[in-house]
Amino acid sequence: MSVSIGEMRHRLALQQPHAEADGGGGTTRTWALVAEVWGAIRPLSGNEVVEADGVHGQVSHEIWIRHRTGVVPEMRFALGARVFEIRAVIDVNEQRRFLRCLAEERVP
């Protein structure tokens, strides 16, 4: 399985978590921009999740980007108001050409 360069048409913001002091002895998680990258987004599956505050849709995707070091599952991609939480990062064929990121998008 692979991706063509022409499919990488989405300009994604790669973000990493950053903890900031909240003034009360705790921390608040914010997100800092690491880089903007071109990527291909392919939906894989979807389902509904029941949580304390209601029912939410959840869609899993694979997101392909050019290889870059330092991409880890604690990061996320943003595309406008859409947020994709990275669950796994795979170096396709271990060739350091592409990364295939398995991600989940929460849908209200």
pLDDT tens-digit series, residues 27-50: 888 999 999 999 999 999 988 877
Q: What is the CA radius of gyration of the chain?
A: 15
User: Which CATH architecture group holds 5-107?
Assistant: Beta Barrel (2.40)
- Stretches where the chain sits below pLDDT 70 are 108
User: What is d(CA 19, CA 33) in angstroms, rounded to the nearest whole number?
Assistant: 14
User: What is d(CA 105, CA 49) in angstroms, rounded to the nearest whole number?
Assistant: 12
- Using a pLDDT cut of 90, give the percent of the chain over it: 68
